[in-house]
């Protein structure tokens, strides 16, 4: 079973819809998912700065950085 890591924003007042969709796609496609939730704006901003991102989520599959939700959709259409 392929392994995926997803880091996504889940704030008390807002859950990123792209992160939620990416998590659903990973689960629907049979990935073993390790999820990391960013639960504050500060934590989210720090994560994005550390990784040079402008948005979340960040998805890694079997050690390969895929990117965000649209990148995951492209990856799945080519590999699944």
pLDDT digits (tens, 9 = 90+) for 34-68: 999 999 999 999 999 999 999 999 999 999 999 99
77-to-24, 54, 71, 72, 73 alpha-carbon distances in Å:
15, 24, 10, 9, 6
What domains can be seen in the chain, in order of their start residue? 3-79 (3.40.30.10)
Confidence of residue 16 (pLDDT cuts 50, 70, 90): very high
Instruction: Give the predicted TM-score (pTM) of the model.
Output: 0.92
């Amino acid at each position: 079973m392929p392994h995926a890591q997803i880091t996504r924003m889940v704030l008390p007042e807002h859950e990123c819809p792209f992160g939620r969709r990416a998590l659903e796609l990973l689960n629907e496609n049979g990935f073993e998912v390790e999820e990391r939730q960013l639960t504050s704006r500060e934590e989210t901003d720090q994560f994005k700065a550390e990784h040079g991102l402008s948005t979340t989520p960040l998805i890694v599959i079997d050690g390969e950085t895929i990117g965000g939700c649209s990148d995951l959709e492209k990856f799945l259409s080519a590999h699944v």
